[in-house]
């Protein structure tokens, strides 16, 4: 349904970034990488039912259908992982803020797509400062999303 798949890649990434459309353009766009994968630089529908629970049902998408969408909530944003191309695949880590891993370096902002169809560039110091803690106990993506929904 998308006329040009390059819209799934932020043009701010240099061709050397693993999040660049150029990484999937050999011989033509949209090709796979060396491992047969295609990735993009967007995190889509990231809210889960209950991020505080450790059960499989808790990690189901909060918006499984368009009829379940809540207006004004985050529905998509820039990726939150840094990808490293290693033999046999990829290794994912939290981003080190560089030109190759963070879409809007050095502005520390995020492209945020909302459930009402709007898009906003959000510069949130609390969200940026929260990122290094995402994999620590009691830190959830939901809190990060709240910072981006209410800058």
For 99-141, write each residue's pLDDT tens digit. 877 788 778 888 999 988 899 999 999 988 888 777 777 777 8
Q: Are 45 and 75 in contact (CB under 8 A)?
A: yes
- My answer on whether omega of the bond before 30 falls inside 30° of 0, hence cis, is yes
**How confident is the model over 41-80, as pLDDT tens digits?**
788 888 887 777 777 777 788 888 888 888 888 898 888 7
Eight-state DSSP code of residue 61: B
Q: Is 112 helix (H, G, I), strand (E, B) or coil?
A: strand
pLDDT confidence tier of residue 90, bands split at 50, 70 and 90: low
Res 88: pLDDT: 59
Sign for the CA dihedral angle at 39, 117, 133, 49 comes to negative
C-alpha to C-alpha distance for 40 and 31, rounded to whole angstroms: 12
Structure tokens at 14: 């240099």
Domain ranges of the chain: 42-149
What is the C-alpha separation between 59 and 117, in angstroms, rounded?
Answer: 24
């Amino acid at each position: 349904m998308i006329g040009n798949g390059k819209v799934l890649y932020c043009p701010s990434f240099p061709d050397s970034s693993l999040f660049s459309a150029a990484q999937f353009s050999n011989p033509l766009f949209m090709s796979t990488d060396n491992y047969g994968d295609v990735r993009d630089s967007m995190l889509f529908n990231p809210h889960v039912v209950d991020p505080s629970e450790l059960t499989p049902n808790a990690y189901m998408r909060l918006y499984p259908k368009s009829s379940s969408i809540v207006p004004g909530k985050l529905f998509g944003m820039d990726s939150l992982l840094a990808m490293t191309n290693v033999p046999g695949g990829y290794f994912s880590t939290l981003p080190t803020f560089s030109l190759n891993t963070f879409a809007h370096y050095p502005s520390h902002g995020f492209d945020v797509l909302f459930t009402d169809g709007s898009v906003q560039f959000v510069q949130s110091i609390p969200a940026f400062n929260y990122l290094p803690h995402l994999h620590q106990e009691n830190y959830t993506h939901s809190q990060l999303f709240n910072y981006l929904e209410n800058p």
